[in-house]
Amino acid sequence: MDLAVRPGYLALLLLCAALGTHPFGSAALLADSPAEELTLETSDSIAIKAWYYPVPAETKPAATVILVHDLEGSHKTVDGLARSLQQAGYAVVAPDLRAHKPSGSGGGPSEPRLLKKQDLEMIAAAAGGSLRNQSALRGEIEAVRNWIKSKSESGVLDIDKLCIIGCGLSGTLASMWTVADWNWPPVATGPQGRQVRALVLISPVWAMKGVSMSLPLSSDVLKHHVPILVLAGTADRDAGRLFDQLKRMRPRGWFEQRRELPYEVGAADKKDLSNATVFFIQRDTILSGDKLANDPEVNVAEQIKTFLSLALARPRE
């Protein structure tokens, strides 16, 4: 295999060198394990279907990943990525968003193309009141988080090792929900938020249907705190625009590998990734969104696994 021609391979090796890990992650733990179908409910009474990809019962997951498909996709359109992460030891929950069958619509829009700004914002909603488990606004992502919390209380999962991946427009929704997660204040019994340890945006959309990345980017959560990986193909201009803004916010803490260009690091020592918290990897493909996430030849799962390992190795804030 000619490593020199593999897009992003040098970036991956540098990331792995910082971690002391192999670039292709953990060995497979299981093969063709069936996903478990869940039924969850939002605060606006929409029954949501989600699929849980567990690790073996005797194995402790490296982390739990919420994987959110793009508009007009489904858990099926990101199933390949979910299974690849599962094979590497990550538990994954992939919901089907409202108006995306078999999830319901609760009397709202019955088709994805009919979803409006308020519907999309509700998907990322996590607010209302002072106690998170009694929140007045609870969208799809928060409903998944609450299910993970219940599994954490029984020792199956760990809510404090929570990561989220959003594809396309759901990258914006995942960013909005991450900000909401970090905004929950602690209570007498302990923290309620700051559980998201890493955010992955695959072909993020800057603005669509009135929902804009400008809103979460105005928060210190995305400006300075949560480690972020932006993955994109050559046609994804929004992804490049987003990363350019992120690296201005973190001038000494970024890494990028653009197609056919040398890697760059926002540090005096170009091999020092110890302070890097925002990453951009551009793959040589015109694929985007769920198609980019799920394509076995492009195989973005390898970069995601390495990034998650790096993010989880950092001390919690």
Task: List, for residues 119-139, the tens digit of each pLDDT value.
Answer: 999 999 999 988 998 899 999
Separation CA 290–CA 96 (nearest Å): 13
Domain for residue 127, yes or no?
no
Residue with the larger pLDDT of the pair 316 and 15: 316
pLDDT of residue 16: 58
pLDDT of residue 107: 78
Per-residue pLDDT at 17 exceeds 70:
no
Domain for residue 153, yes or no?
yes
Supply the DSSP string of 112-181, one letter for each residue.
Answer: GGG--HHHHHHHT-EESSS-GGG-SEE-HHHHHHHHHHHHHHTTSS-TTSEEEEEETHHHHHHHHHHHHH
Give pLDDT tens digits for 103-123.
888 878 889 999 999 999 999
pLDDT of residue 139: 96
DSSP type of residue 214: H
Percent of the residues in the chain that have a pLDDT greater than 70, as a whole number: 88
Write out the residue range of the structural domain in which residue 69 sits.
Answer: 3-28+61-87+148-313
Q: In total, how many domains does the chain have?
A: 1
pLDDT bracket for residue 189 (50, 70, 90): confident
Residue with the larger pLDDT of the pair 271 and 212: 212
**Picking from 7-16, 22-31, 126-135, which range would have the lowest pLDDT averaged per residue?**
22-31
Domain for residue 76, yes or no?
yes
Per-residue pLDDT at 1 exceeds 80:
no
**Picking from 33-37, 86-90, 202-206, 262-266, which range would have the lowest pLDDT averaged per residue?**
262-266
pLDDT bracket for residue 269 (50, 70, 90): low
pLDDT of residue 268: 60
Per-residue pLDDT at 29 exceeds 60:
no
Domain for residue 78, yes or no?
yes
Domain for residue 188, yes or no?
yes
pLDDT of residue 96: 95
Domain for residue 119, yes or no?
no
Domain for residue 245, yes or no?
yes
Both tokens of 59, joined, read 């194995």
CATH number for the domain spanning 280: value is: 3.40.50
Mean pLDDT of 256-273: 75
Contact 147, 178 (CB under 8 A): no
Place of tokens 């809103």: 215
Domain for residue 81, yes or no?
yes
pLDDT bracket for residue 271 (50, 70, 90): low
